[in-house]
Amino acid sequence: MNEALRVAAVQLSSTEDVDRNLRSCATAVAEARRADARMVVLPENFAYFGDAAGRQNLAEPGDGDRGKIGRALAEMAKGSQVWLLAGGWPEVSSDPLRPFNSATLIDPEGHARANYRKIHLFDAFLDDGAVLEESRTTSRGDDVVTADVDGFCVGLSICYDLRFPELYRAMVARGAEIFAIPSAFTRETGVDHWRVLLRARAIESQCWVVAANQCGTHPGGRSTFGHSAIVDPWGVVVAEASDEEGWIIADLDRLRLEQVRRKLPCLQHRRLST
């Protein structure tokens, strides 16, 4: 059993230009691999950050034949020999107008090993006048998903999921040791809530948290917060990005996780199941 997993979180400022975005992803993955990352997490909307019509046109099957985005991801993972978590991106659903927002885990041979469809969809009316209605353009997933990455149990989620601790508790019940949270967290909400929520999920579940966020201003005027972060099971932020493109990296130590859970065994003290 591996005692540590070196993980990188990539921070992008994605646009409507899919080719440009995928080149940025490939560059970051290769750089992280040169720093000995074994797993790389891409942010939500890594391939396309634009309107609903664009997402509909880009949606690809989750299984079977891969489209342009899926092929590019497989090449990145295989070329750099890393586990690659790509999320979220548009996956075909039964409603052609409302694709899933999915996070896909790809192994170092380029094969998809797990696929999570975003459960909690972001409908919000912000003070700056922005109206965000993800449920109008996106189909909702239903399944809690965890996956094995080099002997570590990784729970998959996307952005707005971060506000729903019951999802992360369900992943812990399935053995999760690491939470991966690809995001496009808005600047307005991120200033006050991003770090607090990441630390809370780490502390209450005694898990490592790896959160890759978007940054900057995107088509349509939406602004995202950046500050991608890696948080240890005690709630300590061990790596954090600025508000510009780049990537961060840290060793996720199993011994640290076991020490925290042994020191304060709150997961064993639970009395309510819901």
Residue numbers annotated as active site? 44, 118, 159
Extract the tokens encoding 160.
């707005």
Question: Residue 159 in contact with residue 189, Cβ under 8 Å?
Answer: no
Cβ–Cβ under 8 Å, residues 225 and 195? no
Three-state helix/strand/coil letters over 169-212: HHHHHCCCCEEECCCCCEHHHHHHHHHHHHHHHHHHHCCEEEEC
- Max Cα-Cα span within the chain: 51
The span from the CA of 159 to the CA of 216, in Å, is 16
Query: Which helix (H) or strand (E) segment is 265 a member of?
Result: none
Contacts of 98 (CB under 8 A, 6+ apart): 136, 137, 138, 139
